[in-house]
Amino acid sequence: MEQPTVIVMDQASIHTSYAIQDKREEWQAKDIYLFELPTYSPELNLIEILWRFMKYDWLEITAYESWQRLREHVEEMLRGFGQDFVINFA
């Protein structure tokens, strides 16, 4: 590593395994650090934030008419994310 690096991990079993924990000291010596998210932290999970906006702000009621319609709406939002669908926190 050319610069200090932080790896953000959730509480998935692979992330909390002994294999990962045993490597901590070795990685810290190489300026690699692990930051563990709390057990459940949707406010820190980007996909949770995106889904909240999709579900409560962007998704039209007509999307629930059928599975196909819901899928089309979700795909439209994902394709338009950043241009037609923007998250503003201000």
State percent of the chain over pLDDT 90.
Answer: 58
pLDDT attached to residue 49: 86
Residue 90 pLDDT level (bands cut at 50, 70, 90): low
Instruction: Choose among 5, 10, 6, 7: nearest CA to 37.
Output: 10
**Mean pLDDT estimate for the chain:** 89
Distance (Å, whole) CA 90 – CA 87:
9
- In one-letter notation, the amino acid at residue 56 is Y
